[in-house]
Amino acid sequence: MDKWDKRFMEMAFIVADWSSCINRQVGAIITRDKRILTTGYNGASSGVMSCKDRGECLRKKLGIPSGTRHEICYAVHAEQNAIIQAAKLGVSVEGATLYCTHQPCVICAKMIINAGIKKVIFKEGYPDEFSMQLFDEAGLEILKYE
């Protein structure tokens, strides 16, 4: 890891602070050629009240274990939001690197792979081994930031 990896990972943690999730604050940065292309954090879709606004986490209320049933949540994942932002702005992420505070889930992994992102660097683990299997099979470079 070099100074750029350190800078971009620090930025991912800054972006994570913007999260509207009660349970886990996640930030993502998509970069290419030492330039930030887009950022994303986990939070409710535009126009939808977040768990912070509601005062409770839907997943905790329903007893849904971490790493499962991703669809039952008001939040869009940080990686998804970074890819969505790129699409809205017309920014290609082909060949880019994604820095994320946490290991991507399987749904995010599928999106990352199909978006053409070639490298993922993450800090914290996440209980989803299938995502790592997909990254490996698709030939992405995956690094755990130390």
**Would you name the residues annotated as active-site residues?**
79
For residues 46 and 26, give the distance between their C-alpha atoms in angstroms, rounded to a whole number.
17
In angstroms, the Cα distances linking 47 to 43, 44, 50, 101, 137 are: 11, 8, 9, 25, 37
Strand partners, 44: 75
Residues near 105 by Cβ (< 8 Å), separated by ≥ 6?
A: 67, 70, 77, 126, 128, 131
